[in-house]
Amino acid sequence: MPISKILDNLENVTGSGKQYSAKCPAHDDRKNSLSVTQGRDGKILLHCHAGCQTEDILSAMGLTMKDLFPGQEETGMRGSGKPRHEKGTVTDEYVYHTPDGTPLLKKVRIQYAEGKSFYWQHFNGASWKSGRNGIVPPLYNGNSMVKDRDIFVVEGEKDVKTMKQLGFVAVSLPDGADSRWRDEYGPPFAGKEVYIIPDHDPAGEKYAAMLAEKIFPYADHVRVLDLKRIWPALPEKGDITDLCNHLGQDETIRALGPLIDSTPVWLPQNSPPRFLARSAEEFGEDNTRFVWYPYIPIGDYSVLMAEGGASKTMFCCGVAATISRGGLLPGDTVNKVPPKGNILMISAEDRGELLKKRLVESGANLSRIRILDCMDSEGLNFNEGIEDFRTMVMEAKPCLVIIDPWHAFLGDKVDINRVNALRPVLQRLANIAKEAECGMILISHVNKRAQGENANNAATGSVDLINASRSAIRIIRCDEPGKKDMRIAVHTKSNYAREGKSILYAITNGGGIRWAGFSEVDRSVLEEAARYHKTPFELLNLKEKGEEEENALAEAIRDLAKEGETVNISYEEMRETYGELIFGTGQPKKLLDKLANTLYAEGIRIRTGKNVKRDGKTYNGFSVTKGRASDDDHLPAA
């Protein structure tokens, strides 16, 4: 490249012939620190007296090392600080922004008859000025990466624009295939599915290999896509824009899906597998311990579900308070001494002052409890910011972490209703609980789905939240008369032990809780009550009444039974003899069949479906035999 073209990119140029000085574009230069010299062979030498590297100086001008050698530049100069003097047309402008969206740099594309060139401008807060001014360009369109998990990396801004038109999120490095990788480019790719689309030429292949190697440590997966598998006649230097122009947008979109699915995940050469299964013999014994047996295991997360206003936060304050003062929680039949460690409470809804009040009311030792309240927890994210969460947990050294509600910290990129989106986040939380050797309670709101089949379907979002958990607790209001200020914690799932007793607790006037024993309302009662549209207390009353009716009917059958005889009796005779309510509100045949097994153990046999004749009329009835069975006896099913 002629020295004049180099000088066009610089400011405050002085000198003549083959020796010049100018302000260095790689740093905030207030005096001419850069020497520009052209040797006898035409090679251009750059030297910054402030110590800037040649590559950084060239990058700031939008040039590369080959631009310093005569005859090596591309036709239609690839990079330039100012427009060429030959007649050309501005075909596009690409603006680079800061993370907050402020304009930072602009790359202008000039098209000439013999090729193209680019020049850079920087924004000084009021207007665009020539050159990069020492500013390192970020990823082009990098701000869009936060919106999607699938990211395409292409060679230039033109291709980014094409991908956007196709409905995809794409980024590029500032100098195409000649770009230098910078450390700050890596973190935005964390947790992403990355698809690299290089141009079809040796430089593109080299560029793709460099990108894959650099992005691999950050991304979940990297794939390098070969456009020739879609268009075998893709021309030399062909790119995704050429493919789109050839096939059209709709066909390009349809073709990219199968290409992605059939492209293997990129792995470094000779690298060990990312996932390696071990022999079962290598694993130790399962010695699961509990913060609260069997409700909260150590090394995994548990889910606490409740509808709004059911006092789930108060419940957790009561749990934290009991542990903090060295007490054992109700129903714990395994722990002989309280768990050691702090309690970490993270809330997206409550202020620290309110949580403190509830903890004090429940008798907490505040020195053992740490709180990240709704004011300080803003921005906490279990997806992109999982390392921030991990660091906080490890520093707190907790025996228990309480997150209220947990889905407030998912971020806007995780669909809580999609299993494949939710499971990786849940796995990260479980891994942190295991690493920190603590229990973890994820508080969840309750949705309005039908819950008759499974009480655990109550949790907001995908059922995978409960499916992947090791323990789940459902908080309900106590509807028993005289206990309206009480709640019931029902253990609805337990993978490490049998489900624990349902815990009864009262809400105090100050917002604390008082443990009040146990309740008969268990998971089966919850599910049966939902199916029959009853409250748990109504269902228990019906069951109790049914048991009383069943016992009364059994006593009547015992009274009828005669040793060595078969007694036939109609349902009407039973009502006349023992009262109208002898069968309760149920069907006689079903009630008697239900009793058959119980009474058979006592030597009494019942046979239903009998026709009993009385006074010349036939009635529905049954027979009762005690002692030796006759051929006509009914033996109940096993």
Phi, psi of 155 (to 5 degrees): -85, -25
pLDDT at 600 over 50: yes
Residue type, 491: H
pLDDT at 115 over 80: no
Tokens of 637: 């099913």
Nearest to 242 by CA among 179, 176, 154: 154
Beta bridge partners of 37: 19, 45
Which of 84-98, 408-422, 470-484 is predicted with the least confidence, judged by mean pLDDT?
84-98
Q: Are strands 193-196 and 150-154 parallel, antiparallel or unpaired?
A: parallel
pLDDT at 171 over 50: yes
pLDDT at 281 over 60: yes
Tell me how far apart the alpha carbons of residues 86 and 73 are, in angstroms, rounded to a whole number.
17
Q: What is the pLDDT of residue 85?
A: 42
Tell me how far apart the alpha carbons of residues 118 and 62 are, in angstroms, rounded to a whole number.
8
Q: Answer whether 568's CB lies under 8 Å from 607's CB.
A: no
What's the whole-number mean pLDDT along residues 568-579? 92
Helix axes 536-560, 588-600, angle to 10 degrees: 70
Distances (CA, A) of 197 to 179, 257, 263, 268: 15, 13, 12, 18
SS3 content of the chain, % helix, strand, coil (to 5): 35, 25, 40
Percent of the chain with pLDDT over 70: 94
Tell me how far apart the alpha carbons of residues 191 and 218 are, in angstroms, rounded to a whole number.
7
Q: Give me the sign of the Cα torsion angle 413, 417, 419, 422.
A: positive
Burial class (CB in 10 A: 0-12, 13-18, 19+), 529: buried
pLDDT at 5 over 80: no
Which of 83-92, 506-515, 604-613 is predicted with the least confidence, judged by mean pLDDT?
83-92
Helix (H) or strand (E) holding 599: helix 588-600
Q: Which pLDDT band holds residue 637 (cuts at 50, 70, 90)?
A: very low
Q: Answer whether 466's CB lies under 8 Å from 460's CB.
A: no
The CATH number of 290-533 is 3.40.50.300
Distances (CA, A) of 248 to 235, 243, 257, 284, 548: 17, 8, 15, 57, 77
Tokens of 629: 């069975």
Tell me how far apart the alpha carbons of residues 146 and 383 are, in angstroms, rounded to a whole number.
11
Exposure b/e, 149-162, CB count within 10 A at least 16 = b: bebbbbbbbbbbbb
Q: What is the pLDDT of residue 274?
A: 65
pLDDT at 622 over 60: yes
167: left (phi over 0), alpha (psi -120 to 50) or beta: left
- Tell me the average pLDDT of the chain: 87
Q: Which pLDDT band holds residue 72 (cuts at 50, 70, 90)?
A: low
Helix (H) or strand (E) holding 466: helix 464-467
What's the whole-number mean pLDDT along residues 67-72? 73
Q: Which pLDDT band holds residue 136 (cuts at 50, 70, 90)?
A: confident
Q: What is the pLDDT of residue 463?
A: 81
**Domain covering 142-262, topology:** Dna Topoisomerase Vi A Subunit; Chain: A, domain 2 (3.40.1360)
Helix (H) or strand (E) holding 537: helix 536-560
Half-sphere exposure of residue 473, counting CA atoms within 13 Å on the CB side?
A: 28
Tell me how far apart the alpha carbons of residues 570 and 141 are, in angstroms, rounded to a whole number.
86
Nearest to 477 by CA among 311, 249, 616: 311
Q: Answer whether 347's CB lies under 8 Å from 355's CB.
A: yes
Q: What is the pLDDT of residue 255?
A: 94
Q: What is the dihedral of CA 549, 554, 559, 563, to 10 degrees?
A: 170
Tell me how far apart the alpha carbons of residues 505 and 546 are, in angstroms, rounded to a whole number.
28
- 124 DSSP assignment: -
The SS3 call for residue 531 is helix
More confident residue, 312 or 450: 312
For the beta carbon of residue 618, count every other beta carbon within 10 angstroms. Answer: 10
- 329 DSSP assignment: P
Residue type, 548: E
Q: Which pLDDT band holds residue 317 (cuts at 50, 70, 90)?
A: very high
Tokens of 284: 């130790």
Tell me how far apart the alpha carbons of residues 132 and 120 are, in angstroms, rounded to a whole number.
6
Tens of pLDDT, residue by residue over 465-509, are 888 899 999 999 888 888 878 999 999 999 999 999 999 999 988
Q: Which pLDDT band holds residue 616 (cuts at 50, 70, 90)?
A: confident
Distances (CA, A) of 499 to 46, 170, 288, 449, 490: 75, 49, 15, 24, 9
CA angle 197, 60, 106 (to 5 degrees): 65
Which of 86-100, 131-145, 365-379, 508-522 is predicted with the least confidence, judged by mean pLDDT?
86-100
Q: What is the pLDDT of residue 449?
A: 55
Indicate the domain borders of the chain. Answer: 3-130, 142-262, 290-533, 538-626
DSSP output for 342-362: EEEEEESS--HHHHHHHHHHT
What's the whole-number mean pLDDT along residues 571-595? 88
Which of 182-196, 263-277, 392-406 is predicted with the least confidence, judged by mean pLDDT?
263-277
Q: Which pLDDT band holds residue 628 (cuts at 50, 70, 90)?
A: low
Distances (CA, A) of 335 to 296, 299, 329, 341: 12, 16, 9, 15
Q: What is the pLDDT of residue 631?
A: 44
Tell me how far apart the alpha carbons of residues 45 and 3 are, in angstroms, rounded to a whole number.
10
Q: What is the pLDDT of residue 344?
A: 97
Q: Give me the sign of the Cα torsion angle 363, 364, 366, 367.
A: positive
Tell me how far apart the alpha carbons of residues 179 and 190 are, in angstroms, rounded to a whole number.
21
